[in-house]
Chains A and B, each alone.
Chain A
Amino acid sequence: MSGELAYLGLAEAAELIRTKKLSPVEYVTALLARIERYDAKYNAFIALTPERALKAARAAEAEITAGRWRGPFHGVPYALKDIIDVEGLATTAHSKILKGNIARRHAVVTERLEAAGGVLLGKLSTHEFAIGGPSFDLPWPPARNPWNRDHFCGGSSSGSGAGLAAGFFPAALGTDTGGSIRNPASMCGITGMKATYGRVSRRGVAPLAFSLDHIGPMTRTVRDNALMLQVIAGHDPGDPGSADEPVPDYGALLGQDVRGLRIGVIRHFYTRDVAGDPEQVEALDAAVQLLAGAGAETSEITLPALQDFSACGQIILAAEAYAVHEPWLRKRPEDYGARARERLLAGATLRAVDYLQAVRWRLQLRDRVARDFADIDLAITASSMDPACRIDDDEALATNYWRQARMPFNVTGQPGLVVPAGFTKSGLPLSLQLVGHPFGEAMLYRVAQFYEDATSWTKRHPPGLLD
């Protein structure tokens, strides 16, 4: 299989399929062969479902041949983080606790992707219950970084990030409670969107922390990401956190330049609150310069300290996650991996008043950020402070959870989009994060697309996987 087909984007594939220049069956067959060939090295998949995929691809091909093209997702392969339900398949959350847990119905996002004609290839590795990883004491090994398999690929949506970078599929879903879409996007050099809280239904997805959980698209390019969000966004009355807001055309602003846009630079997150890796800081400064040079009005803005958002978010996350996991931690603590068990037990002694103070503080932080965003169209900041560390470096992995600027926007619920922003001298991806007003995803896509077009980062793929 040619590297060109492996790294075909969703938008390009959709156009080739629509015009019958690419057969969904051939496309899916080729990707399955690539996964069979390479995934033993990267562990992106927990469960590959080739028979189901080929059946869906044949059905899509028959429909398209008969003139019933459903839209850009029709006949396009995708994969799901294994905390998202697919009727008839196990949702394991990468944990012994849920091994053999067969889903009785689709999650809402699965329903939407299936209705759009997508072809599911399988279920993807995650950190255990989207919180504990990378772990070597679970029934499945952790995903590896295709840019260098000795390095961490981020998490918790680790298989989604690794599989995209490896050219196994053009689109995947991840989930993000404290940064779990944007972290693997940063580590694997791909594009990940945590949309506004409530924009995408969480029904049928294993919860980590109810008030912080988000589901979102992960792709290699901005345009593909906008296409996937278009499919999954929308109100779900069965999800208590779902927002009853109209869904705009996420592609409407793609192709527009950035002249006159007011972009706030949250530089203190990665220079004062936490000292970012010099190569990462340099990449962020270069991106700001590029946007300013293209006519955007950039100015530094100051939010509360990163550590305030982290503390607020971590207290809420620990309390809500413990509420979910307490029965299993009491009865089957030995069935968790060490990393998940330690992080989940952190919530065991929190007092009700601490949780309530944190959710009261959360509104203060949200309102303060809203005031700081009043005079800007969007902001730019870091996602990760460092490139991917080695997967066997326990100390660096531990710091990975707080050397990041993603939790602030789980706390406020604003959208955050991570895109590639270059590479280290050793060839590992660097990244940046764009942050918008609530429900302002289309603006993020506009600026990210401009940046992607002005750079060549998304055209680079991991060495050793190009054939």
Chain B
Amino acid sequence: MTEELRDKVRTLGLDRLTEEHLAQFERGTTGMERHLQRLPRGMPAAQEPAHVYRAKGETP
């Protein structure tokens, strides 16, 4: 396990992860990279995200 990886998880506040957990962290985050590569870039600036938030008072 690289020192770089240990630094990364410490920065995230995940300093209780064991060596076994670090391997799981690495597999999990590497797997997520595959999905991130499909994210479209250059969406129109006005394209809003999906919301569920509603200001209080609008709901009955």
Expressed in whole angstroms, the Cα–Cα distance for A360 and B39 within the complex equals 10
A345 near B: Cβ within 8 Å? Answer: yes
A-B residue pairs in contact (CB < 8 Å), sample of 21: A240-B53, A307-B38, A310-B35, A311-B37, A315-B35, A315-B36, A315-B39, A331-B16, A332-B16, A341-B21, A342-B25, A342-B28, A346-B28, A348-B9, A350-B32, A350-B36, A357-B39, A360-B47, A361-B43, A363-B48, A364-B43
Question: Which residues from chain A contact B34 at a C-beta distance below 8 Å?
Answer: 311
Query: How many A residues face the partner with a CB closer than 8 A?
Result: 43
Pair A333/B29 contact, Cβ less than 8 Å: no
Pair A345/B40 contact, Cβ less than 8 Å: no
Pair A237/B60 contact, Cβ less than 8 Å: yes
Expressed in whole angstroms, the Cα–Cα distance for A341 and B6 within the complex equals 17
Name the residue on A nearest B34 (C-beta): A311
Which are the 4 A-B pairs with shortest beta-carbon distances? Answer: A346-B28, A359-B49, A311-B35, A311-B38
Interface string of B1-39 (1 = CB under 8 A from A): 000000011001111111011001101110110111111
Pair B16/A366 contact, Cβ less than 8 Å: no
Expressed in whole angstroms, the Cα–Cα distance for A165 and B53 within the complex equals 39
DSSP class of B's interface residues: helix, strand, loop or mixed?
loop
Expressed in whole angstroms, the Cα–Cα distance for A326 and B12 within the complex equals 9
Add 10 more A-B contacts to A312-B39, A338-B24, A349-B32 (CB < 8 A): A244-B60, A311-B37, A312-B35, A318-B32, A348-B9, A348-B29, A350-B36, A354-B39, A360-B47, A364-B47
Pair B16/A211 contact, Cβ less than 8 Å: no
A294 near B: Cβ within 8 Å? Answer: no
Query: How many B residues face the partner with a CB closer than 8 A?
Result: 36
Give the contacting residue for B49; candidates A237, A344, A360; CB below 8 A: A360
| A360-B38 contact in complex given A240-B52, A315-B32, A345-B29, C-beta closer than 8 Å | no
DSSP class of A's interface residues: helix, strand, loop or mixed?
helix
Give the contacting residue for A314; candidates B25, B32, B47, B49; CB below 8 A: B32
Question: Which residues from chain B contact A113 at a C-beta distance below 8 Å?
Answer: none
CB distance from A212 to the nearest CB of B (A): 10
Of residues B12, B21, B50, which shows the largest number of chain A Cβ atoms within 10 Å of its Cβ? B50
Question: Which residues from chain B contact A318 at a C-beta distance below 8 Å?
Answer: 32
Expressed in whole angstroms, the Cα–Cα distance for A308 and B49 within the complex equals 16
Pair A334/B24 contact, Cβ less than 8 Å: no
Name the residue on A nearest B51 (C-beta): A359
A123 near B: Cβ within 8 Å? Answer: no
CB distance from B34 to the nearest CB of A (A): 8
Question: Which residues from chain B contact A361 at a C-beta distance below 8 Å?
Answer: 39-40, 43
Question: Which residues from chain A contact B12 at a C-beta distance below 8 Å?
Answer: 348-349
Pair B24/A211 contact, Cβ less than 8 Å: no
Question: Which residues from chain A contact B9 at a C-beta distance below 8 Å?
Answer: 348
| A333-B32 contact in complex given A211-B50, A357-B40, A357-B41, C-beta closer than 8 Å | no
Pair B16/A330 contact, Cβ less than 8 Å: yes
A347 near B: Cβ within 8 Å? Answer: yes
CB distance from A337 to the nearest CB of B (A): 11
